[in-house]
Structure 1
Amino acid sequence: MKKWPLFFLIITFLSCSRSTEECIPKLSHVNVIDHQGMSETFSSQDRLKQFEEINFSQSQPYQKALRIYERDSNGNIKAIVTSYYPNGTIKQYLEILNNRAFGVYREWFSDGVLKVEAHIIGGNPDLGPSAEKTWLFDGICKAWDEKGNLEAEIFYCKGELEGVSSYYHKNGNLWKRVPFQKNAIQGCYEIYLSDGSLLQTTSYQKNKKHGLSKRFWNNQSLAAEEYFEEDDLIEGKYFDLSGALVSSVVNGNGFQALFGKEQVNELHEIQDGKFEGEVKVFQTNGELKCIYHVKENLKHGEEVVFQPKRRSQDIIPQITIDWYEGKIHGIVRTWYNNGVMESQKEMSQNNRNGLSTAWYQDGSLMLVEEYEQDKLIKGDYFKKGERIPSSYVHEGSGVASLFDKDGHFLRKIIYHNGKPTIEN
């Protein structure tokens, strides 16, 4: 049970009280919430003196604690809110000024290792995801991993990303260098490997790729050189480890290569500077894994997934899928590794709709089903080599007997109103 609105009422009330003459503010109110959600506020001098002797950075039996101080000589009311893990260790620390988040923010892992340190200049004076979304960061924000390794240094100016943000590998070497101007990437974005060698540089203008981009292999030989205009890929050359040209983009058309550690992982078709058309995905050994097509960043058209190649055997499909605007719509087919068709089903908007047929590995019929919007309407199920069904579903009700590719019995499924009810 959350009682934080009481904190805001207390701070608002104190904002209207008289200024104190003291240079060092004293506690005015303390509000604590235990791990059962119960809230209690203290204002008596005896109790406040006890709280002044407590180190709130150490383990506490609370879920949250808000300390509100008397108005200082400048008329400001300061407060500090801290939260705690169930094991009692401190989780978050936030400074508050005049009923808004203002000052140092820190966050820790449950074992006490510092996680985040930042400076806040505005936002809701509370802890939690909804309040954090309102905070305005200013200056440097640092983040560490659970082992205390520095992960990132991010610079802000009055709530906007400004300057060069740096991200680090676990060994401490620079991973990413990202220049920002008014919340947008502006300048040369650099990516480094954990050994310190340069992996990629990309020029940005107002958050869009604009200008030269280069990618390098581990031996620092050139893997790719591209030229962008406002995120459109205009020119590109892509090379393998030996320096041989793999693909290219000329005047906004061609194939862009995406790389793994030592090989080409994918080839993306580029049309008029944009990712559109055919995509080829490769195994680590260079064999073709699948081909699909993209339209407006969604799968659209036929996708073919190939079976792993065996010795001198030609590549054969394992599955084909018809896509329409990001949804499976059309025919889905699968094959056994001997090239015999395994199944074929009609799909509509990701749902089974129409005929669905399956065969045993020797090519004999296994089952024939008919669906309407993912509901089974009719089905005939055959033992291997037999022409008369061993079980059937009629008007959405019945029994489906299922067998493996060699004809061994697997299970029976009882259907009612087109949906499975009991499986044996």
Structure 2
Amino acid sequence: MARDNQSDGYSDSGTSSPRRRRLLQAAGGSSLGLLAGCIGSSLGGGGGDDGPITIGSLQPLSGNFAPWGAAHSAGLQYAIDEVNADGGVLDRELEIVEADTESNPSEGDSLFRNFVEQDGAVALTGPVSSDLGIRTAQTAEEMEVPIVFHMAGSHEALRKSSRYTFRVGSLTAMMDIQNQVDLIAEKGFEKVGAIMADYAWGQSVNDQIDERMPDDIDLTKSVVPLGESDFSSQLRDMPDDLEMMIASGNPPGQIPIHNQLRELDLDPEITTGAGFPPSVLFGGLGAENAETFGHIHIVDPYSDDFNDLASSYAEDTGERMDTHVGLGYVAGELITTAIENAGEADPEAIATEIRNIELDTILAAPLKYTEYGEIDDVVTMFSTFETGGPDHYPDGDYSLVEYHRSEPLSGDIVEPYLEDDW
């Protein structure tokens, strides 16, 4: 079962939350009347018509991705606690079954199957690594039970035929680089650097830079071995008046890339990173270097909805809601809203409602999807850091400062790169 410490102090008053009512009415017509007897219907079901509705949580609770797993798990649990305090869904309680995937694709596949076949999970969430996302996407399509990724940004996790796989937190390389090309144009930058790691994600970023970067940009880029930590030789090849460094193609190296830039007296206006939790970034960069580092996120920490929720979260748990805790919360409200709109805890109906939803939430734009499960019309932000906590968590070490907010990015940008089927 899921950890229950996040619910300590939560008031189970039975009073209906105005925010909760708005979310449940957010969009997506009913999918009642879907054919019975489908694979998803026979495997899922969440304990019959009267028992709890079960959601599976596949989290990296150990290893390199553990900070993501802990944050996502906390936000998911808080969303489910909030729903249960408001009477549940379809007059039924919700429960979470959770386990540590160790970011191992085979383990994630086994846990997925066990959660569905033994625990009756009707939907799952959690994967961070792309390898795990690709494997569990295949499992979701085979078993016809929806999965909502926390991160897992590789476009290889989707196919044009995908109907049970949905992305939330991480952009594909296509969206990531298009967003950064738009940032370069907005800021008028002319001299840009990029360092990618030599593995699937870094190679995708490198290919997209080659495809999308305008010819008039003075671009200096390198591809280095995955796990490299000394970037001094690559950085010395950068121009002295470098304006922007793209480090999003090397997630493990993004912090040392930026710190070593500063040590070599290269001072670009911004270094753009991949989706690390902001506390990890601030701790690794230090206060001064973090002022020019761009944390990428789609949760909008500057919105009233986020600040109201983050204040309640801090009051109830004593912890800070950051952008990744927020993504866990969004996954929980997405799944529960889809169940409510479907009028039944059936995996096929839930997947259909997610695919058709337009959910007004704490993201910078309403959450919606393409037919094949890519996040659509997503607005993404880069934020830098300043010392001192925000209003909703004044004891915090840092606050985020908005640097760039994109126009909506269409999920259709990804489709030409997708295979037809598994």
Please tell me whether Structure 1 or Structure 2 has the larger radius of gyration of its CA atoms.
1
Larger fraction in helix: 2
So what's the TM-score if we normalise by structure 2?
Answer: 0.22
So what's the TM-score if we normalise by structure 1?
Answer: 0.22
